[in-house]
Amino acid sequence: MDIKEIVIRLSAFFVPAAILAIGVLVLSFIVIKMRKKKGMNPSSGGKKKAIIGSLLVAYYFIVIGITNLSRGESFSGQVNLNIFSGYIDAWNSFSLIAFQLIVFNVLMFVPLGILLPLYSRRFMQFKWTFAATLLATLVIEIFQVVTGRGIFELDDIFHNTLGGVLGYQLFMLTHEIVRNKSISLKQLTKRLALPMVLLFAVAGWFSFYHFKEFGNMSINPTYGTDMEKVTLSTTMELNSEKAYAPVYKNKYSNDEEHGRDVVDNLQKKLRLPKLAEEGREGDNRMFTFEKEQGTDYQMSYYMRDGTWSLMDHEFLPENVTYENSEEMKAYATEMLARLDLLPKQADLTISETGTFHWMIQPSTYSSSEI
């Protein structure tokens, strides 16, 4: 899930959760009032506990909604017991979506670690908050695997519990500062130890990746496969002599600002309409231009490799035939030249499928130009 999808799912369950919270709160107040009328001592905490309790109910309803109710029954008893699978996937692909999913699973349970100690003093003891958070995430994962609305994943349980612990530590830090008007270095270190360890771990992770010239192999598997009973054979004759192949890296990969520069360039040189909307589709950026008569342009910028494509959704490919290929070739050559995309001394050709190719001779250029 990316941020946009998370916001959409949150908005879908926010109103029902608010109605549920109000209902629980009204019912709690009625019970408190009835107990007072009968001369009975209302439950410890009274109205404050009722308010926090209603917030807890609404919060957990939203969590259940996002993780279960918003999904279809497209899974069938799948279980993932690899606690580090999320990290392996994020490391191999180094994808923004993969990182967002880890962060979201942690942050989703931070409110629980804050609300529980507010609800009852018992949860100011770490063991009770830890146990309640673990139970809450276990219920969600079991519900997912039973209903087929998700996968029972050990790394989700780990991240959710970690989020609850982070929320608890932040609450206790604030509580101690408010209560004592100060805090000792020992207590400060105790409460901030986990957040600081996580911060340094993430910083180290990104720093290490930054020094890898070509990044990681996104095709590396996240899960291991048992190959004991697998036999591989080939009839190919493999050459034992060393061979060298050039490796290229696009300097614009993961450069979001370059995508906007491309949009500006296209608008100026192709006289495209004004930009109407900018959004995300997975890791990629989507730029939609205002519709004009006969045109509906959209540019896709692919973050991972720094490439882009421009499409007119009003254009009908079936209207183009190989017979008018020379006309299309002239148009493509003129457009590429106008955008300064056609390399010098390039030979542009068009195939029968309507695909344009250009060929260049490397000997024509210096190494810095290729």
The mean pLDDT of 18-35, rounded to a whole number, is 88
Higher model confidence: residue 305 or residue 164? 164
Residue 37 has pLDDT above 50, yes or no: yes
The mean pLDDT of 132-143, rounded to a whole number, is 94
Which pLDDT does position 69 carry in this prediction? 82
Residue 283 has pLDDT above 50, yes or no: yes
Torsion, Cα 42 48 50 56, to 10 degrees, reads -150
Which pLDDT does position 323 carry in this prediction? 60
pTM to 2 decimal places: 0.66
End-to-end CA gap in the chain: 38
Residue 331 has pLDDT above 50, yes or no: yes
What residue spans of 222-361 are helical by DSSP H? Answer: 256-270, 325-338
Distance CA(166)–CA(112), nearest Å, equals 10
Confidence of residue 368 (pLDDT cuts 50, 70, 90): very low
Q: What is the mean pLDDT of the chain?
A: 82
Which pLDDT does position 370 carry in this prediction? 44
In the structure encoding, which two tokens stand for residue 131, read together?
């146990």
pLDDT in tens, 150-190: 889 999 999 999 999 999 999 999 998 998 888 888 888 98
Distance CA(79)–CA(69), nearest Å, equals 19
Which pLDDT does position 226 carry in this prediction? 77
Please state which of the ranges 161-165, 281-285, 340-344 shows the lowest mean pLDDT. Answer: 340-344
Which pLDDT does position 138 carry in this prediction? 95
| Strand blocks (E) in 14-170 | 79-80, 152-153
Which pLDDT does position 353 carry in this prediction? 65
Distance CA(311)–CA(300), nearest Å, equals 8
In the structure encoding, which two tokens stand for residue 42, read together?
């209302």
The mean pLDDT of 84-98, rounded to a whole number, is 81
Residue 348 has pLDDT above 50, yes or no: yes
Distance CA(51)–CA(22), nearest Å, equals 9
* Top mean-pLDDT range of 3-17, 153-167, 178-192, 305-319: 153-167
Please state which of the ranges 14-23, 70-79, 85-94 shows the lowest mean pLDDT. Answer: 70-79
Which pLDDT does position 365 carry in this prediction? 47
Which pLDDT does position 130 carry in this prediction? 96
Higher model confidence: residue 357 or residue 321? 357
pLDDT in tens, 207-255: 888 787 667 766 666 667 778 888 888 888 878 888 877 666 677 877 8
Contact 302, 308 (CB under 8 A): yes
Distance CA(191)–CA(169), nearest Å, equals 5
Helix 96-107 and helix 85-93, axial crossing angle in degrees, nearest 10: 150
pLDDT in tens, 100-118: 889 999 999 999 999 999 9
Angle of CA points 83, 84, 90, to nearest 5°:
140
Higher model confidence: residue 129 or residue 87? 129
The mean pLDDT of 197-215, rounded to a whole number, is 83
**φ, ψ for residue 275, nearest 5 deg:** -70, 125
Which pLDDT does position 363 carry in this prediction? 52
Which pLDDT does position 132 carry in this prediction? 96
Torsion, Cα 206 207 213 214, to 10 degrees, reads -10
